[in-house]
Structure formats: structure tokens, C-alpha cells
Chains A and B, each alone.
Chain A
Amino acid sequence: EAQVTQNPRYLITVTGKKLTVTCSQNMNHEYMSWYRQDPGLGLRQIYYSMNVEVTDKGDVPEGYKVSRKEKRNFPLILESPSPNQTSLYFCASSLSSGGDTEAFFGQGTRLTVV
């Protein structure tokens, strides 16, 4: 089954404790991205990757890091989480970066930073 898998689904952590949210896709997609979803703000792009070893900032990259060492994986790293990073996070993948290409989303990771 074609899917994007994120882990964990829920995470509560303390300020400053480094964490990684994993994302994996099994569709051989080149394009992957991370979004955060906040009430009233919709989905905002954090980082995206056009292919292995090619990443770039989205609209809200501050406080986040990513890496793309393999085509299927695109982890999101929070080196020193802060309460304003409490949010619902989604990983997405698509065949290409074109806006007419279907984006497949993971089920989301609800992160709470206390």
C-alpha cells in the first residue's frame, strides 16, 4: 500500500530536549516536505527536499533542521524545542514539486513542548 509513515503520532517533551520526527515514503517520490498546522493558520511549509541531499527552507524554517540521505526518508529535527513549536506536523511526498502533482500526507505528529 502506498503510504507516508510518520513516527511518533504523539509526543510530549520538555523545552530544550532534542527530538526527531521520522518520515518515510514507499512510493519512490523525489519531492518531500514538512508542514506544521496551527488553528487559523492552515498548513505552513517548514522545509522541503527536491531529491537526495537537496533541501531548502520553506516559509517557517526557524528552529528546525532536516536531512535527506536516502530517497525514502526525510526526518525533521528540533535541536532545542520551545513551546511555540507545539503544533501538528505533517510530512508529505509527491512525484515532483509541481503544484499540479498530488501530495500524499502522513497521519501527522502532534507535538507538545512544555
Chain B
Amino acid sequence: TQLLEQSPQFLSIQEGENLTVYCNSSSVFSSLQWYRQEPGEGPVLLVTVVTGGEVKKLKRLTFQFGDARKDSSLHITAAQPGDTGLYLCAGDLTDSWGKLQFGAGTQVVVTP
């Protein structure tokens, strides 16, 4: 059983559409990160959120950390083909120092 559940598992949209990816858990996290992974590459960090209710924006990407620090979402506005990739959330449990827990990922495909 995954500690972090991501949904949906797969998302295929047209260029210009918006999308939201979710990351949920029953556990509380000290912090939560979002990574993007492209084929043949390792994950690359997009953002870290540490405060419950925090919202961070990175150009067309908006990240939110739930008030209870158990969930997070990633919203992409006007998606572009360059946004295609596997989006992974990763959390640091409050009582598990040194271990990042990863979700299974959401594969996003943006077609022109």
C-alpha cells in the first residue's frame, strides 16, 4: 500500500487545457515535494512546500499543500507539450527522519 496516493495515474490532454494532479495520504508530512521525471532521466525537483495551506506558483504551475499537511495538488494552466512527464509527489513523514516517501506518479501527456 502506497503511503502517498496519486491520482489520476494517467492524464492525456490537448495543448492549452488545464489539469490538476492530486497527492493524498492519511499521514501527516513535515514537508512535501513535487518532482517531474522525463523518459530516460531521473526526477527533477519542481517545488517544496512546508506549511499547511501553503500555495506556491511556478509560472503556469500552482502547488498547494493541504491545511492538515496530508495532501497536495499540482495545477497546470494552459498545458504545453513540454509539460509532458511523470509527476511524482514525495513526502517527509514527521516521525521518519531521513526517508522520503514517494507516490507512484501521474503520467501526463500533452499533445499539440
Using C-beta atoms within 8 Å of the partner chain, give the interface range for chain B. Answer: 20 to 34
Please report the C-alpha to C-alpha distance between residue A99 and residue B72 in the assembled complex, in whole angstroms.
Answer: 15
* In the complex, per-residue mask of A92-114: 1 if CB is within 8 Å of any chain B CB, else 0: 10000111101101111000000
Contact A100 B92 (CB under 8 A): yes
Q: Taking the nearest CB of chain B, how far is it from the CB of A33, in angstroms? A: 8
Q: List residues of chain B with CB under 8 Å of any chain A CB.
A: 2, 4, 6, 9, 29-33, 40-45, 48, 50, 88, 90-92, 97-100, 102-105
Please report the C-alpha to C-alpha distance between residue A105 and residue B33 in the assembled complex, in whole angstroms.
Answer: 14
Contact A99 B102 (CB under 8 A): no
Find residues 4-34 in chain A having any chain B CB closer than 8 Å to their own CB. 4, 31, 33
Contact A42 B104 (CB under 8 A): yes
Contact B48 A103 (CB under 8 A): no
Contact A108 B40 (CB under 8 A): yes
Contact B104 A100 (CB under 8 A): no
Contact A108 B42 (CB under 8 A): yes
Q: Taking the nearest CB of chain B, how far is it from the CB of A38, in angstroms? A: 9
- Let me know if A56 is at the binding interface, CB within 8 A: yes
Contact B105 A42 (CB under 8 A): yes
Please report the C-alpha to C-alpha distance between residue A92 and residue B44 in the assembled complex, in whole angstroms.
Answer: 11
* Residue among A4, A40, A103, A106 making CB contact with B100, cutoff 8 Å: A103
Residues of A within 8 A of B43 (CB): 43, 90, 103, 105
Task: Given A40-B104, A43-B102, A45-B100, verify A105-B2 contact (CB < 8 Å).
Answer: no
Residues of B within 8 A of A48 (CB): 98-99
Please report the C-alpha to C-alpha distance between residue A42 and residue B6 in the assembled complex, in whole angstroms.
Answer: 10
- Let me know if A44 is at the binding interface, CB within 8 A: yes
* Residue among B6, B29, B40, B88 making CB contact with A99, cutoff 8 Å: B29
